[in-house]
Structure formats: structure tokens, C-alpha cells
Structure 1
């Protein structure tokens, strides 16, 4: 029986080590010097010497943005035999964006290793071109699970020579429904010397992989399990559901230098909010599964270049996003599980920086917030939604601070000022400041002139009885017991279905409110969906011709939703994919 051995746990790293002291070879040291790396991060200090000295099964738990790519990349490159052209290492990544980033980082680190060849394979790009690259030979393949499975089925890629398998962002891949793919790949990489698993959290499915495919793995934990990065401030604002968009707008206005991601539950919600913000004059765009790969690349290119400052994204679309200097993550409603909150929040406060994670919630989400607070060992700070006066004052102060710091000598403006100065002689200094402010902020001042208070007070009774009635918020939204109908969907885990895609599918196409959807139970061959009997169940017909994202090619050609009611005749709705 396989055993599970803990190696060591990082709590407080006191000594600032150098990369040279970790046992890294000179060609790799030259590469990371060119990249501007000076001192290893805590996860690199712990993982690199261990993975270089003893390349055995290992688990590394650390938050995103802590330098995990170099933590596995440098030891891997040191072990690779660049004189051989067969595949020696396989790196699995949840998304195309992350796979490309890993490849680039490995090439930069290994630029002084002669003969190093790395091939990246992912969906949304020509598979024939990737097959040609593989035929030319490579020591390392960086892959997304779906495309790798496709190449294996075409006999274009074999894993018999693979010695190292690295699962990067393992929990993200499981959240995206790649559990069966990972199992299949690990089974076929049977000659591997070791498996290195890197993850931010430790859900039950990770432990299943460890038990089934890893032998006495060493565990390296940076911080503690299932926690968020220490540099994040967790804040929340409580308002009525119909005021959430206006609250979001106020927060954007209140933080003039905000550069962040707003997470939504559905693709439709991300697109709708993005469209409305753009109409209001904000630099925003949406990122979701309905965009083509070219569109996604364009959005991310603009976001990284700060041509847009606000990215609206679903959890699935944001997998693998790695953008520096994000100041805020905003949850337009809390996610259902702690792993999603951890990954969302981890988009800010990367590489030792600080950041703010903001949740815009209504009263019924208070209990969910308290559960996250307890499970993640963090404290959520209640903030008041800024008033119109506070926002205008903040914007004006920011504008004049920028004005004061502007250096006119860097432009040719002075050659045009003589005529302008004479036309402004009649205005006093105070008049000029007042007119500049009015001209620059006339729309903002008009919008917030009669702005009402959007804050919702927390009922004291609810807070006092929270420990005795932990499900009060859930029960307030859910109809009385007995008013639920269970439907059967003949697709399950074996077909690539997972809970997030099922929920998003129901919300996107039926437009049913979230409160009308109860339990979602996904089994191997089928799933159970609980819906409110009082809801418009005719909306289910809108599912015709659609299917949840992630269903693989072995899925049934037809999906059946079977209504199950006690002592009643079964009725069936047939939905074609």
C-alpha cells in the first residue's frame, strides 16, 4: 500500500539564499541572471535542492505567483539529457496561456543549454503543425490534457520514454474536469522515474491521485494548506442584488488606479457587465468560453498592455491567467467553494506584493462568507460602499495630484502657451482650478449629484444567531422542502462533465435564477439536477442543441433530462447536443 510522507513545512524563511547555493549548474545560473532573478523565493529555496538531489515523487503546495515554474523548471532542466532527442519530460498545464508561459520560461532559463528542444501542444492551434514539431524531436513536452490525449490517440506522441511527469496547477486541472485525462496519462507514462505535483490547494481529488499514482511522495508546503496568499486584504460590501452593478461602478471610480479582474458566475453575466461598463465609458472587456482563441489572445494582449484596466472573466476562462501588478480582484458574488476563492484571490498579491480581494455580496451570502472565513483562516473586513461625495473627492484629488507631478518640460507644450495664457488672464487661480475640475469631471459630478446610499445594514438578530442557525441564508433563498423536482442528465464524470460547467450551462441557456437551482450531483455515467418546482421549467427547452462545456468525444450523441417525481409517470425531454 502506498504511503504518504511529509518532507518539511515552510513557515518563516529567515535566510536569504542565492540561486548558486541551491546546487544549480552554471549554464542555468547564467540563464536566470539574464532573466533578472536575484534571490530565490521560499518555494524555490525549498523545492530546488530537493528535486535536484532526489528526483522522486514530490508534492509542492504553494500559492500562485510564488515562483513555482522555476521551482520545478530549474531541477528539470538540470536532469535533462540534451544530447538525446526523445521525450524525457512531460509538463501538464490547465490552459494554453499557462502552457505557453511555462515554455517561454523554460527556454529563457535553459538558453545556455545547447541542444535543448521544447514543444508546446494545446488546443485551438493546428494539430498537424504540432505533430511536425514532435517528429523533429524534443526532450520536453508542455501540454494541455485535452490536446495531449488527442495526440496519443493519433499515435503521434508516446510516453514510454518519459521519466518526469509534472502536474502544474493540478487543482485547476481537476476543477476544469480533467480528472480522467490525468489518470489516463499517468497510467500510460508507466516508465516515469517520478511525478512532481504542484498545486495551490489540496482537495480530495488531489489526494486520490497521490494514493493511486505516487509512491511515498515528499510534501513541501509553503505557508499552509488551502490558504490564500498573506499579502491579500479581504474586503466585502453588502448591498441589494439589484444594486450590485452600481456598487461595482462606484468601486471602480473610488480606486482611480484600479487594474483588476472582476469574476462572474456565467459567460452571459461577464459579457453583459462588460458591455454596460464600456457604454459607461470604462476600459473593460470580457473573457469567456464563447470567444475564439484569437479573440481571447487579443483581450489578454490588451489587458497585459493596460489598454484595458478591467477584465470581466468566468472562473473557467481565467484559468492560467498570469498577469503582473493586478491591484484588485473583485468577486461579483462569492464562489461556491474555497478552491475557487483561493485561485481567484491569488491573481493579485503575486511575487510578494500586496493586493485587495473585494466581494460584492447581498445578505443571503453572508453565511457563505463566514464559512470561507473559517475554512481559509482569513478575516473579511466590512467596508462601506463609497458615497457620491467621497468618490468625487477621491477623483478630484487624484487628478490634481497627477497634474502636480506632470513634467511639462518633457513635451513641446510651452511653445503653444503664450496665446493660451493671454486668453486666461481674466481668470483668477481659483477660477481656473474650478473650471478645470468642472470640465474634466462634469459627467462624474452629474452622475453622483443625487447618489443614494447603497449599503445594506446587517440585521443584528442574524449575526447573534449565526452559530445556532448556520443555514439561515440558504434557507431564505431556497423554497420549502418538497418543492424540488429532480432531473436526470445522462452525462457524468466519465464524459468530461463537472459541476462548474453544468451550473454555467443551466444559468446561461435557461436564464433561471440561481435560487431556482438546487443540488447538482455528478456521478460517473449520469448526473442529477434539482430544480425549483415553482420555476419556469419550460426554460429547459432552451437547452436543445446545446451541451455543457467540457464534454469529450465519447459523450452520448443525445442528452436526456428525465423528470423524476414520486408516484408519477416519468416524462422525458430529449436534448440534442
Structure 2
């Protein structure tokens, strides 16, 4: 195996990458770097997400850039702004000990004037999304006549996202003598067309088999009824206390709804999809990278460019329509030499898709059982105990209180003290999972699922399950979203346990929310004597269009786990995005898990 020293890179670049933590070149780097350093032949590299592609093309390009010239010599095109920013940051880290190169990322959702100013100062390397690059070319602010290297990173994704015409336009404005480097996970017909039209006798290399997933990723699937998918997702999260996951959904709406449900249930989660502003996306990604979020719910497009090496689980809430997309998803875990787990929550009709994925990836998928309540309880309890054991004690701060504390406990045996200690933390959690249902699709018919669902739909109708829509004078500008609203209401002493809330629609300056009709006056009375973040709350029934809505299935009931269990508290605002999901909880049902 070649080392980075043997690949022919300059000493200052070697010093930088060794400091970053690069030890041995990945398979794609071993094949790509010598080719780009020793020949001007075009290159097609087939490699999966997480295989080290950025360094594979970035290191040899940087190694050959003329730092004395301010002309743009290399253009890197990629599908998303997150990936453009990440590549630019990586390039800057590779040149830490080199003569300063100007690397400018250009992408939509940010000020084009600021990007133009950076280009006017001179940029040897430009990294951008196709749409913004086209705009800058048309404005004559990005000049490509001196381009020597064009990199098409994740070419298949750019084409899938509809950038075909943009790529044609950009490549037609670059010199014929350039070296074109095309990196893709798959060799689709459109990728082949690009190579035929714009590449000259390219060398093709690959890292492993086409479409093959990461070697250290294990693949599991759970078969459940459609109505139980969200409950299964919560069980999977609960059986993995230290989960650091990305959950893939098919649509923006589903992504928002699942995220809202998780937050309303107290999980430390948020979402990433195309309707978020750049500031919102940056805020979510910043929290996720810092591990202030445990679970990120995302669409495939929004997750492109997500460069996080420690993701433990990828959870497919839906099998993607394009099965090759599964490869991209699963590549988000098992990176940097670490093991990872990819899971799919499917219905019985999706079993044929699992077989197709096994053929595509050349891997075996393991059918797993949604964990039983007893297993979840044991896992959570032992995880909590381990956290207690590893907690550092500040002797000087606690010492003055030790004698008084000991006096309070002197009548309790060691066993009684442990029982009370654990019960204080876990009573509601234990009650939630007591006699919990088997969610697996192969469970015997007639098994009662009420302990997870809070009673079936017909039972709740018999209990008076109609809903009234309320108007509240607080909204997004008050740092409100569905999760924070429900958490605040649950904390009002005058709101009794057991009240169910339906759809919540948070707007800029006001909110609509549904409450069980039989408890309408109780909730109105509590809200109208309360303040939210220092502002007096005004609540009243919504008139016009009919306030009553039919009941829907309850999927958000969640056991209470106090913050003392070691999970970080989710920030009160929960992000600054619009919250319109169907978050549905019972008042007093508890805040769920916080990490």
C-alpha cells in the first residue's frame, strides 16, 4: 500500500494532512492522486460517499496550482451549497502550510455581491453549485478562460437534481485543453452522456464494485404495519441511548412532520429540507455537527454535502424510490474507518425492494425485530447507571452538604435508596413501556397496541374525541414552534394530565392549534392567564370554516425522562423555522428524552 509520502505530494501539503489526521490513503486516493499528478488525461472515478473523494481530487490539484497567479485555474462543481462550503474548507485546511491560495465558494442562498467581491480579489480555485456558477458567468464576473482543471463532484446527483443544462452551459465556457475530473457513485446514462460530450478519452477507475456500500456498514430492516412506523422509530432510538443518527424521509412535508413529532415527544431532533432558509440550514447543521442534536431528519437532496464522520445510524423511514439512492444514504455512516449501521423501516410490500438492494450492493440485509419494551427499559436503565458511575464529583462543592444529606437518608437501606433513586428518574418511563405491544408485522393478530398508541381511534371517539381549533396571539417571532408550545403548555399547572392536542400550525405572529373539545374551556382559561416569554397570551376559538375537526390517530405519546438522565436539553426555541407538523401529545405525558 502506498503512503501519502510516496504519492508525490509537496512537503507542506503532507505536513497539513498529517496534522489533520490522514494516516493512509484510501483506495480511491491511491488510484486518483498519482494519475492526476502524472498525466493530463481526463478521469472518471466511481466512488461512494465517504470514500475520501475530496482529498482524492483536491490534493493533486492544489499540488499543481500556480499560487503566484490570481487567475482562476480550477473549478469544482457540486450539487449543494453545504458540499461547496465543506470542499472549500477542506481545501483551506490542505494548504495550511502552503503559500496562501484563495478558495472561493459560490452558491445560492447567499449574497452574490459578496461572492463577486471575493472573485474580484482573485481566486485560484472556485467551488460552486451549478446555478450560481451560471449566474456569475452570465454576469461576466467568473472568468473561465484560464481553467486547467474542472471537477464534477457527485455528478450523478447534480444530474438527478436537474442541473443538466447548467452543466452543459458551464462546460461549454471552459477551454478545450482543460483536464476534466468526474466523480460519481453511479454511471447513469446522463453521466455517460456528459463524459462522451465533454471528456477526452477518460481513464476510468473505481473504488470497489459499482454501487457497493461501505464495507463497515451493517444493514438491517424492520417489518411493521404502516401505522406503527413512527412508534418503531422511537423504539429504535430508545434502545440506542447514544444514537447519533440521520433519518431519511421521502418528502419535505414528511421530514417536517416527523421532526415536529420527535421534538414534541422530547427527542433532541430537528430537520433539514429545501424549504429552510440558508440561515436556518446553517443553524441546524451547526447544532448537529456539535452533537447538540441527536437525530437529524432530512430529505436526500438536503443531506448532500453533509460531512460528519461519527454518525452511528442511518435510518430509512422510507425506502427511496430510486434504489441507488440507498447507497448514498448508507454512506453517511461507517466513515473514517469506523463501523456504522443502516436501517430501514418497511412494510410487508417492501420486502422485494430489500432483495433488490441486496443484489445491487452485494450485501446481505439482516431482518431485525423492533425491540420489546422490557429490552428498552433494561438498556435505558443500565445506560443511566453507567452515566451516574462515570459522573465526576466536585468534592469541594458537595462536601458542605454531605452530612445533612446523609442524615436525611439514614433510615433507608442501600437497596431502598437505589430503588428510590432509580424510580425518581424512571417511573413514567417504566409505566410507558409496561405491557408494551409487539410492533413487528409478524406479531399475532389481535395483540393490544394501546400501551404505545394511547388507545385506538374508535376508543377515543367514544371518549369524546372531537377537536376545537384555537387561535393564539404568539408565533414564530416569539421563538415558538410546535415542540416548544406543547412543552410550555405541559408545564402549566392549571392544564390537567390527559388532554390531547391535534394539529399545530405556527405562523409568523400567531398560531392555530387543536384541542379536545371537551377540554376547550379549561385550556382557554389556562392560556389566557399566562405569559409566554414575557408576552401575555390571548387565546380564543377560531371562528369561520368550522372549528371542529375529526380525530386522528395518536402517535406522539412519549414516556417522561428527566434531564438529569444525562441528555442535553434541546434549546427552547427549537430552531427558527416554521413548524406546521402534526405534533400530537397528551398534556402531562412528559418531555421525552433529551440529549
TM-score range, shorter chain: 0.7 to 0.9
Matched, 1:420 2:389: no
Instruction: Give runs of aligned pairs for residues 284-323 of structure 1, distance below 5 A.
Output: 284-323=269-308
Q: Which of 317, 321, 324 in structure 1 is aligned with 2:309? A: 324
Instruction: Give runs of aligned pairs for residues 516-535 of structure 1, distance below 5 A.
Output: none
Residues 441-465 of structure 1 deviation map (CA, whole Å, 9 limit, x = unaligned): 1222121113111111299xxxxxx
Task: Using the TM superposition, give the Cα deviation of residue 31 of structure 1 relative to its aligned residue in structure 2, in angstroms.
Answer: 2.1
Q: Which of 439, 443, 460 in structure 2 is aligned with 1:454? A: 439
Matched, 1:172 2:157: yes
Give TM-score, length-normalised by structure 2: 0.72
Task: Using the TM superposition, give the Cα deviation of residue 420 of structure 1 relative to its aligned residue in structure 2, in angstroms.
Answer: 1.4
Distance 1:209 1:266 in 2: 29
Distance 2:372 2:308 in 1: 31
Task: Using the TM superposition, give the Cα deviation of residue 128 of structure 1 relative to its aligned residue in structure 2, in angstroms.
Answer: 1.0
Q: Secondary structure at the match of 1:69?
A: helix
- Structure-2 residue corresponding to 1:60: 45
Distance 2:55 2:331 in 1: 18
Is the contact between residue 327 and residue 348 of structure 1 (CA under 8 Å) also seen in structure 2? yes
- Structure-2 residue corresponding to 1:391: 376
Is the contact between residue 92 and residue 144 of structure 1 (CA under 8 Å) also seen in structure 2? yes
Distance 2:246 2:318 in 1: 13
Distance 1:431 1:456 in 2: 40
Q: Which of 69, 74, 87 in structure 1 is aligned with 2:59? A: 74
Matched, 1:190 2:175: yes
Is the contact between residue 288 and residue 313 of structure 1 (CA under 8 Å) also seen in structure 2? yes
Q: 1:426 to 1:202 in 2, by over 3 A?
A: farther
Instruction: Give runs of aligned pairs for residues 537-548 of structure 1, distance below 5 A.
Output: none
Matched, 1:247 2:232: yes
Is the contact between residue 324 and residue 350 of structure 1 (CA under 8 Å) also seen in structure 2? yes
Task: Using the TM superposition, give the Cα deviation of residue 224 of structure 1 relative to its aligned residue in structure 2, in angstroms.
Answer: 1.0
Distance 2:396 2:249 in 1: 42
Residues 285-324 of structure 1 deviation map (CA, whole Å, 9 limit, x = unaligned): 1111111110010001111111110111111111111112
Q: 1:179 to 1:417 in 2, by over 3 A?
A: farther
Matched, 1:358 2:343: yes
Task: Using the TM superposition, give the Cα deviation of residue 42 of structure 1 relative to its aligned residue in structure 2, in angstroms.
Answer: 2.1
Distance 1:452 1:311 in 2: 27
Distance 2:151 2:143 in 1: 16
Q: 1:133 to 1:405 in 2, by over 3 A?
A: same
Matched, 1:131 2:121: no
Instruction: Give runs of aligned pairs for residues 465-544 of structure 1, distance below 5 A.
Output: none
Q: Secondary structure at the match of 1:451?
A: coil
Residues 350-405 of structure 1 deviation map (CA, whole Å, 9 limit, x = unaligned): 11211110100111111122111112212110011111111101111111122223
Task: Using the TM superposition, give the Cα deviation of residue 33 of structure 1 relative to its aligned residue in structure 2, in angstroms.
Answer: 2.9
Is the contact between residue 56 and residue 217 of structure 1 (CA under 8 Å) also seen in structure 2? yes
Distance 1:415 1:291 in 2: 50
- Structure-2 residue corresponding to 1:37: 22
Distance 1:296 1:115 in 2: 29
- Structure-2 residue corresponding to 1:155: 140
Instruction: Give runs of aligned pairs for residues 344-355 of structure 1, distance below 5 A.
Output: 344-355=329-340
- Structure-2 residue corresponding to 1:212: 197
> How well do the aligned residues superpose, as a CA RMSD in angstroms?
1.7
Q: Secondary structure at the match of 1:358?
A: strand
Gaps of 5+ in 2: 445-595
Give TM-score, length-normalised by structure 1: 0.75
- After superposing on structure 2, the runs of 4+ consecutive aligned residues of structure 1 that deviate more than 6 Å are none
Distance 1:384 1:37 in 2: 38
Q: Secondary structure at the match of 1:296?
A: helix
Q: 1:414 to 1:65 in 2, by over 3 A?
A: farther
Q: Which of 196, 199, 202 in structure 1 is aligned with 2:184? A: 199
Is the contact between residue 56 and residue 193 of structure 1 (CA under 8 Å) also seen in structure 2? no
- Structure-1 residue corresponding to 2:74: 89
Distance 2:368 2:37 in 1: 47
Is the contact between residue 86 and residue 305 of structure 2 (CA under 8 Å) also seen in structure 1? no
Is the contact between residue 83 and residue 115 of structure 1 (CA under 8 Å) also seen in structure 2? no
Residues 391-435 of structure 1 deviation map (CA, whole Å, 9 limit, x = unaligned): 101111111122223332588334433221221121112112211
Q: Which of 376, 381, 386 in structure 2 is aligned with 1:401? A: 386
Residues 212-241 of structure 1 deviation map (CA, whole Å, 9 limit, x = unaligned): 211221122111111111111100001100
Q: 1:335 to 1:410 in 2, by over 3 A?
A: farther
Task: Using the TM superposition, give the Cα deviation of residue 111 of structure 1 relative to its aligned residue in structure 2, in angstroms.
Answer: 2.5
